[in-house]
Chains A and B, each alone.
Chain A
């Protein structure tokens, strides 16, 4: 009994001693716990350290990590070339187009400047031509330096898409198939938009254009490579009209068995002579 009383007293004394000795430590521990558990307090303590590290990282990033980053980029570029091309291709296309348009605007502006300041005979002639034809003078100058050319010309039966005649600088795929597909595209566009009085006049992809002029029973399609000014477009369309009225109108109908004759006329009219630079009328 007395042993038990002694041990209880010892424990109480020990607790009391602990309390006295550890009082400050416990208070300090409670404060640390409070800081750790409270986000606000922790942030106050840690943020300056992180900021200091970040600023150090910013200062030394290029020297410390340059090699690793370069290696990562090189690996990524090497392993995902298709993916990268897929992503940048449209952007590149737009940039190139924008650049070319910009260069053309610059060119036109410089031509405009030249036109205003020139009083030579050719400039005056050009000025008169511009007034009479209604074509912009800059376009007249541009048409002299343009490298656009008709690569292929087709005369195609309007409804069936059967090729009536063709001439070309270089042979591409089967011309009967081109004629059929062109007619299918033309038919689809004209049908889809339900505009009976309207006709498909041009198909354009990149620097390549197919200019189309539709007549009653047939149409003429010219595949043109290069940049066309409005004057050149007008010249091609005018040439098509002239060809229809002067060359095709005199051929006895039906046209579907005159392929050799029509092809030879197309060759003379559009391929041998430069119908882009000037119309023959």
Chain B
């Protein structure tokens, strides 16, 4: 078994904790409780013959990533940057934030994820994706669970 540290980051209220809870506990709640500091949990993912122990750090949301304590990113193998597909402000400075994260984690895997897919129609989703300045690897719904397992599985696969 191999262990990997994954960071969930992004602006506040984009659904990082909901993705975290959906992935770890298969649970979703409509209540919004802001994350204080950081929450850590783990889930083991089977990638073929290999068991990957994913240690997920769910970090309190910040509009600008340089506000997050840099030490949280130390030793991380991957970062999931989450934005809210329904709130343009959460992907407004996407490339600046991703550039900053790349500096913090050179060579690390960074996934850009648009969450709350369930709130948009297919055409609305397409419109949003056209506006986002970087390629979005995953569009997820923490509420329905759509693409959540796949996101973490693909990340784990890429990390081994």
Q: Is the CB of B75 within 8 A of A191?
A: no
Q: Which residue of B lies closest to A157 (CB)?
A: B75
Q: Is the CB of A184 within 8 A of B53?
A: no
Report A171-196 residues with CB < 8 Å from chain B CB. 174, 176-177, 180-181, 183-184, 187-188, 190-192
Binary per-residue interface labels of chain B (1-37) against chain A in the complex, 1 for a CB within 8 Å, 0 otherwise: 0111100000000000000000000000000000001
Measured between beta carbons, the chain A residues less than 8 angstroms from B2 are 256-257
Q: Check B93 for interface membership: any CB of A closer than 8 A.
A: no
Q: Is the CB of B40 within 8 A of A190?
A: no
Distance A231 CA – B41 CA, assembled complex (angstroms): 36
Q: Check A236 for interface membership: any CB of B closer than 8 A.
A: no
How many of chain A's residues have a CB under 8 angstroms from any CB in B? 21
A156 → chain B, closest Cβ, in Å? 10
Q: Is the CB of A184 within 8 A of B57?
A: yes
Measured between beta carbons, the chain A residues less than 8 angstroms from B75 are 157-162
Distance A159 CA – B75 CA, assembled complex (angstroms): 5
Binary per-residue interface labels of chain B (120-152) against chain A in the complex, 1 for a CB within 8 Å, 0 otherwise: 000000000000000000000000000000000
Q: Which residue of A lies closest to B53 (CB)?
A: A176
Q: Check A167 for interface membership: any CB of B closer than 8 A.
A: no
Q: Is the CB of B55 within 8 A of A191?
A: no
Q: Check A163 for interface membership: any CB of B closer than 8 A.
A: yes
DSSP class of B's interface residues: helix, strand, loop or mixed? Answer: strand
Distance A187 CA – B75 CA, assembled complex (angstroms): 12
Distance A162 CA – B75 CA, assembled complex (angstroms): 9
Q: Check B103 for interface membership: any CB of A closer than 8 A.
A: no
B20 → chain A, closest Cβ, in Å? 12
Q: A187-B69, A191-B69 are in contact. Are A161 and B38 (CB under 8 A)?
A: no
Measured between beta carbons, the chain A residues less than 8 angstroms from B77 are 160
Q: Is the CB of A184 within 8 A of B55?
A: no
Measured between beta carbons, the chain B residues less than 8 angstroms from A160 are 3, 5, 55, 74-77
A selection of 14 A-B contacts at a CB cut-off of 8 Å is: A157-B75, A161-B40, A161-B57, A161-B75, A177-B40, A180-B40, A187-B74, A188-B37, A188-B38, A188-B69, A188-B72, A190-B71, A191-B71, A191-B72
Chain B interface residues toward A at CB < 8 A? 2-5, 37-38, 40-42, 53, 55, 57, 69-72, 74-77
